[in-house]
């Protein structure tokens, strides 16, 4: 079984994939092509996805029973003790050289002053 998920990809690519796979929902394709056809389809997806991103998942003989590949996706597959997991970036982590460090302001906040003095 093979699943390809497209996001923000050209309509022509979706039309190409419908020759080999069934489109269950917009951008979600499912089918059972051979490994050779799957590799060709994935190469076409990578070549013609434009500004979009794609995810491929298919059956293999491993502990999980499947594996996946990503293209221009923020989430990246990593190997964790024999299991393939998707690592998603932490939106709160900012590299130290990209933000300016300012010391925290001293004193009470306006809300704390209002609560403290009853105004």
Q: Which domains does the chain have, with CATH numbers?
A: 2-90 (3.30.70.240)
Q: What is the DSSP letter of 62?
A: S
Per the structure block, which two tokens stand in for 8?
């923000």
Q: How far is residue 119's CA from residue 112's CA, in Å, rounded to a whole number?
A: 10
pTM: 0.71
pLDDT along the chain (119 residues), means of 10: 95 93 96 96 94 93 90 86 85 62 69 76
Q: What 3-state DSSP class applies to 109?
A: coil
**CA 111 from centroid of its chain's CA atoms:** 40
Phi-psi region of 91 (alpha: psi -120 to 50; beta: other; left: phi over 0): alpha
Q: How far is residue 8's CA from residue 37's CA, in Å, rounded to a whole number?
A: 23
pLDDT at 95: 59
């Amino acid at each position: 079984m093979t699943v390809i998920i497209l996001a923000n990809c050209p309509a022509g690519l979706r039309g190409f994939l419908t020759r080999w796979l069934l489109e269950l929902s917009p951008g979600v394709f499912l089918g059972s092509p051979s490994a050779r056809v799957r590799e060709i389809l994935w190469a076409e997806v990578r070549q013609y996805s434009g500004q979009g991103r794609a995810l491929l998942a298919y059956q293999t003989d491993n502990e999980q029973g499947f594996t996946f590949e990503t293209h221009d996706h923020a989430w990246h597959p990593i190997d964790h003790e024999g299991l393939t997991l998707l690592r998603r970036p932490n939106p709160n982590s900012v590299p130290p050289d990209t933000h300016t460090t300012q010391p925290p302001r001293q004193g009470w906040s306006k809300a704390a002053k209002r609560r403290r003095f009853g105004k």
